[in-house]
Amino acid sequence: MPPQDLANDQRAALDARHLIHPWTDFREQPVLILEEGNGVHVRDSNGHRMIDGIGGMWCVNIGYGRKEMAQAIAAQAEKLCYYSPFGFLSNTPSIELAAKLASYAPGDLTRVFFTTGGSTAVDTAMRLASFYFNVTGRPGKRHIITRDLAYHGSTHLSASLSGKPSDRGLIDLVEGTIHHISAPNPYRRPEGVSAEAFLDQKVQELEDKILELGSENVACFIAEPILASGGVIVPPAGYHSRTLEVCRRHDVLYISDEVVTGFGRNGAIFASEPVYGIVPDMITCAKGLTSGYVPLGAVMVSDRLYRQIAETTEGRIFANGFTYSSHPVACAAGLKNLEIMEREGICAHVREVGPYFQAALKPLMDSPIVGDVRGSHLMACVEYVSDKNARTVPPQAWQIAQRIIRETMPRGLMVRPMGSMVIMSPPLIITRAEIDELVAILREATEVVTEQLRQEGLL
Ligand code: PMP
């Protein structure tokens, strides 16, 4: 019997027996099988429909069930499903998508390297920085600065750049050349430190780290404009431009990881320049590039950097690439995705509903267990606490975010539980009415969980 004809519990049993999930808990877990999606909604294998407050995984930006996307993917698969992109070989969708991305890119970031996703985009950016300094005669510049609470991927190198404590400790990482500075988290600003002093400290910390390592030894600084998986941490205004300035002063490359913030989530195709006022040396992106319909990532590279490399390589090859770099089907999906975003004015829609979303969530601050509600445009986080005044992270045993999602799901909302936080990044086509529904469900779930905690004597 083909798997789709199996009963729900039989499929769950096969899942438990054979399928290893990302971030797997090796104990047997119940699974929820998602069957279909339409617009901002997904439906599970029991037929239960929910607003997808997660947007898949910050990625289904144009929403589910777009026939045009399916058709573009099918047409390219039929025409030329694949050919190696190595060396002199190329294909039309990747050429067209590279040119299209270049037209949106800030500054001179007009050179594009396609990858298989965000992690391989981050790896490629790091390896290109390394190649750049080696061929331009500065081989000492091999150290990388990143931040606590960052998430940059799940390959050996990109995972080593990540800084979430929960992801570290049990798998070996790159050692010696990767350095973490603290995340600019305004919610954790120490008492007695003004907002201005806090910003100054965070910027100074980067400069101090460069000076400690010696600028002749530092290749690059990598930063998400908003630390996404780390808890939607929005740095204070001025942080981006001032850290870029520090990098420029010390000849350190600035790599902006826009895997989440790109493709409309912050109201622009690339948020770095229009939203955060910076033109970095490279931008990594993925997710919304195809709205998750098929895997694809990219690195946008400064033309200045590219030319400097070209002038010095003397034929030495940048030995980095993937079988599925420039994948024609994925690039065809990327082109169609951008066509839809343009035609429907999705970035403008986000600039309009984004502030509405943030404002609608803010009143959750009234709850005794909500410490912070933060975000920008269509990415948001509700951080739960056990003591509001002391901003105390609830004990693990509370399973706070898990409790919240257990209450939102039956009411028709998926959100992403993350430690003591609930994270949201709905499809960008979400309407005000759907935002109202999302917030109402989250509020109700928060109230129910508050009552549970009271009854259990935990609050
Ligand atoms: N960078 C950031 C900022 C991310 O959020 C992610 C994935 N969530 C990645 C890189 C890695 O992307 P991928 O999972 O496509 O490899």
Beta-carbon contacts of residue 394 (< 8 Å; ≥ 6 apart): 369, 384, 385, 386, 400, 420
Pocket test for ligand 1, best of 259, 261, 416 (most atoms within 8 A of CB): 259
- pLDDT for the residue numbered 1: 46
Q: What is the pLDDT along the chain (459 residues), one digit of tens a residue?
A: 455 578 888 999 999 999 999 999 898 788 999 999 999 999 999 999 999 999 999 999 999 999 999 999 999 999 999 999 999 999 999 999 999 999 999 999 999 999 999 999 999 999 999 999 999 999 999 999 999 999 999 999 999 999 998 889 899 999 999 999 999 999 999 999 999 999 999 999 999 999 999 999 999 999 999 999 999 999 999 999 999 999 999 999 999 999 999 999 999 999 999 999 999 999 999 999 999 999 999 999 999 999 999 999 998 999 999 999 999 999 999 999 999 999 999 999 999 999 999 999 999 999 999 999 999 999 999 999 999 999 999 999 999 999 999 999 999 999 999 999 999 999 999 999 999 999 999 999 999 999 999 999 998
pLDDT of residue 4: 57
Between the CA of 285 and the centroid of ligand 1 the distance, in Å, is 8
Residue 268: its pLDDT value, please? 98
Alpha-carbon torsion (259, 265, 268, 269), positive or negative: positive
115 Cα: distance to centroid of ligand 1 (angstroms): 12
ipTM: 0.99
Contact 54, 46 (CB under 8 A): no
pLDDT at position 3 is 52
Nearest to 261 by CA among 232, 241, 281: 232
Ligand 1 atom closest to the CA of 224, numbered from 1: 3
Domains of the chain are: 31-63+344-454 (3.90.1150.10), 65-342 (3.40.640.10)
Residue 200, classified by CB atoms within 10 Å of its CB into exposed (0-12), middle (13-18) or buried (19+), is middle
- Residue 258, phi then psi, degrees to nearest 5: -105, 30
Q: Give the distance (Å) from ligand 1 centre to CA of residue 336.
A: 22
Dihedral sign computed on CA atoms, order 339, 340, 343, 347: negative
Q: Which atom of ligand 1 is found nearest the CA of 295?
A: 15
Distance of CA 308 from the midpoint of ligand 1 (Å): 29
260-291 burial: b if 16+ Cβ within 10 Å, else e: bbbbbbbbbbbbbbebbebbbbbbbbbbbbbb
How many helices and strands in the chain, by DSSP H and E? 13, 15
Give the binding-site residues of ligand 1, using a 6 Å CB cut-off: 117-119, 122, 151-154, 224, 228-229, 257, 259-260, 286, 297
Pocket test for ligand 1, best of 116, 260, 285 (most atoms within 8 A of CB): 260
Its pTM stands at 0.97
